[in-house]
Structure 1
């Protein structure tokens, strides 16, 4: 890399292993989030009165905006660190290299509105270098520039996990950007201001400030509700939901479970968890829960089309395909990084 004098001071090497198989340097990448939750279940119904709630008649939103993002690690690289002092003749320079990630990520929004149907509304893509190396600089390649993102080196955290979290934060920021841009772009769609619904694929953490927003969680690793209320989730029929409850882990939000239409099978087949901001009034959260029962079943996917059906909603699946296409050819990107490393 000789584009600038500053860039020439950073030397790096590309790890030969395919990043989808982990690093050639063995690292434990297991991380488990906090599984305890503070739950307040008596917002909509008292716990003794909890029962499946059937869909109600509510007005359609002016438009539904589906937001999603994708990420892909193109390569793990090793950035040489300048020695603090002149190294001994026998010094192993590999010991002075820091692992980093070169990744591509993209986010976009699909708009479903009466006038134009489902269409791609906003999309943004980025390439980034994620590292704790303080001498890191942008990596220009023939396939684009990987912008340096230097994060604090937490010695108590696994490095691979730390860098992956930094990448996820950047992706989250990009999702917020495309969501804000989408609402600006709605101005020409004949949609009344404040009448749209925003559905974010994934938790709403860090995005609860977005108005009229829902977080859609497709997979379940933790039982947040007390056992007697948790058991009711598997009793939901298609289109039914649980009462709204307030949930707090490292952050607070309103939440409820909803079963999407699907082929009968496993007890939790078709179950999704929805989230909205904790600081909105309870009646507003209940109204969003009712709206989710009207909107989301319309977009549930089919088993013969999507292995993640019905939870992977049709607009989200289409958006994911387009976003991954926008990331570029991984083989060409890997080659571009190797050429840049050898420059």
Structure 2
């Protein structure tokens, strides 16, 4: 029997699940760069002007404690127990230039997220949790509402640190910003790419989707457009990796719909040359090669800056008992 083993750590779930990859209902136009009849793996075709520096943006989040708040019940005139989420989250930016890389911005936030109207800020010996009120939705569980609000807070912080890093850049710096994840909420950032490591939907028609598996190292698909609740340009790219499954080392890139097609194809060509420089390797990263080296290093530092989870949990228990 001949077989191969995917280097992606199974603890993170599959980077690509061929049996569960459902065809997306998004409106996709695959013919904006190349007619569908001419779709084929695209190698780097011409000399490129690469950015002087590359900025990598990422964020992390953690639930420090789940709490219950005694809230006034308008219906009965008494009290009811309402769920709350005490969480820490952080976002930062790594700037790479030449052979150097450094964290130029990193910010940590804590927050109490709840729909309890009487909730107030929580002060502990290890930091404060400012309250963020959310509105309950009848069509989704309360836990999901809280989790979505935390994710939105993290997204906003990523925008803040990205703007801070760009403001600190030299005025003549020809840079590129790479966001770990989709471009949702970030389409107004200039010179920016979204980097998606895992695949949960099949955006392309089956015939064109099969071409993704044919990509060689550094090759990409033609650019296509995707419209769901929001619009963006996208393409697939294979990073350097050990031979394994058909989608091993495949990432999907996104670019803002505000760009001209010529600008998007230029970014797509740049990504072919640039991203393989930052691809991780299996003996260093269990999510290689998709988890880019600067992103992996930034994640590690941001998680450290969140603080010790047991200490924060204990301080919340102490605050609850006061």
Same fold (TM over 0.5): yes
User: 1:192: how far off?
Assistant: 2.1
1:290–1:120: structure 2 CA closer, same or farther, 3 Å change rule?
A: same
- Alignment correspondent of 1:192: 172
Q: Indicate yes or no: 2:259 matched with 1:280.
A: yes
Equivalent pair of 1:109/1:179 in contact (CA under 8 Å): yes
- 1:134-283 alignment runs, 5 A limit: 134-187=117-170, 192-193=172-173, 195-283=174-262
Within 1, Cα distance between the matches of 2:40 and 2:67? 53
Match of 2:90 among 86, 106, 111: 106
Question: Any idea what the Cα deviations from partners look like across 1:153-178, whole Å, max 9, x if unmatched?
Answer: 11211111111000000000000000
Question: Any idea what the Cα deviations from partners look like across 1:121-172, whole Å, max 9, x if unmatched?
Answer: 1011100011111111111111111111111111211111111000000000
Question: Any idea what the Cα deviations from partners look like across 1:171-199, whole Å, max 9, x if unmatched?
Answer: 00000000000011223xxx724x10000
State TM-score, norm by structure 2. Answer: 0.90
Across the aligned residues of Structure 1 and Structure 2, the Cα RMSD in angstroms comes to: 1.6
Within 2, Cα distance between the matches of 1:72 and 1:39? 34
Equivalent pair of 2:23/2:202 in contact (CA under 8 Å): no
SS at match of 2:168: helix
Most deviating of 325-334 and 279-288: 279-288
Q: Indicate yes or no: 2:60 matched with 1:61.
A: no
Equivalent pair of 1:62/1:192 in contact (CA under 8 Å): no
Equivalent pair of 2:116/2:133 in contact (CA under 8 Å): yes
Within 1, Cα distance between the matches of 2:255 and 2:112? 32
State TM-score, norm by structure 1. Answer: 0.85
Match of 2:31 among 3, 28, 42: 42
Name the larger-Rg structure: 1
Within 2, Cα distance between the matches of 1:327 and 1:225? 39
Question: Any idea what the Cα deviations from partners look like across 1:271-325, whole Å, max 9, x if unmatched?
Answer: 0000011121111110110111111100000011111000000000000000000
Structure 2 unmatched ranges of 5 or more: 1-21
Q: Indicate yes or no: 2:112 matched with 1:133.
A: no
Within 2, Cα distance between the matches of 1:253 and 1:159? 30
Equivalent pair of 2:71/2:119 in contact (CA under 8 Å): no
Within 1, Cα distance between the matches of 2:100 and 2:172? 16
- What is the number of residues matched between the two proteins? 300
